[in-house]
Amino acid sequence: MKITVYHTNEDDPKKCTARKLERMGLVELVDRVRAVPPGAILLDPFAEKAVSAEDIETANRCGLAALDCSWETAETAFDHARRRTESRALPYLVAANPVNFGKPTKLSTLEALVATLVIYGQTEQAQSLVGAYNWAPRFLEVNREPLEAYAACATSGEVVEAMRAFVPE
């Protein structure tokens, strides 16, 4: 599955997971929204629909896209990217990256991509991304149960329903 990351150069380059993934040849970085493939599934924390198996055909055909930007400017950046893509939110997961370890929903670009690939059943490609960082396998360990549950769902609605079991009250 082709992965494109729209990179806004707002984060610390030393902590940027997308840059390392590009250096390893695992993703393509672009610096313009117009360079994101039209129709791609965009991982968007503000989307109304959750990532699910019902998106696999579109993702295989048009690609998977992520936006690597500062959380402070994310809403505006996503507004621009949404015009060309199909926005999908990730279900509840907990970050394992060194910057946001243990924080729900504060995933790095790497974690968001890995989670989506696991939900899509693309475990081999997910493992290749995990191999980029020594802390990344911990993300899969911390989120094993929810990722298994989400991957078993056929639709966005089922993913949202499954998510209720993992969101703390």
Average model confidence (pLDDT) across the chain: 90
Q: Does the residue 130 lie in any domain?
A: yes
Distance, CA of 116 to CA of 89 (rounded, Å) = 10
pLDDT-derived band at 81 (thresholds 50, 70, 90) equals low
Q: In which domain, by residue range, is 140 found?
A: 3-163
pLDDT digits (tens, 9 = 90+) for 112-164: 999 999 999 999 999 999 999 999 999 999 999 999 999 999 999 999 999 99
Considering only CA atoms, which of 154, 105, 148, 155 is closest in space to residue 126?
148
Residue 67 pLDDT level (bands cut at 50, 70, 90): confident
**Domains of the chain: total:** 1
Residue 75 has pLDDT above 90, yes or no: no
The pLDDT of residue 155 is: 98
Angle between helix 109-119 and 123-130 (nearest 10): 160
Sign of the four-CA dihedral 29, 33, 39, 45: positive
Q: Is residue 169 part of a domain?
A: no
pLDDT at 34: 85
pTM of the model: 0.91
Q: Is residue 93 part of a domain?
A: yes
Dihedral sign of CA atoms 154, 155, 158, 164 in order:
positive
Long-range CB contacts for residues 17-26, cutoff 8 Å, separation at least 24: 17/68, 17/97, 17/108, 17/109, 17/110, 17/111, 17/132, 17/133, 18/66, 18/68, 18/109, 18/110, 20/132, 20/133, 21/109, 21/110, 21/113, 21/129, 21/132, 24/132, 26/128, 26/129, 26/132
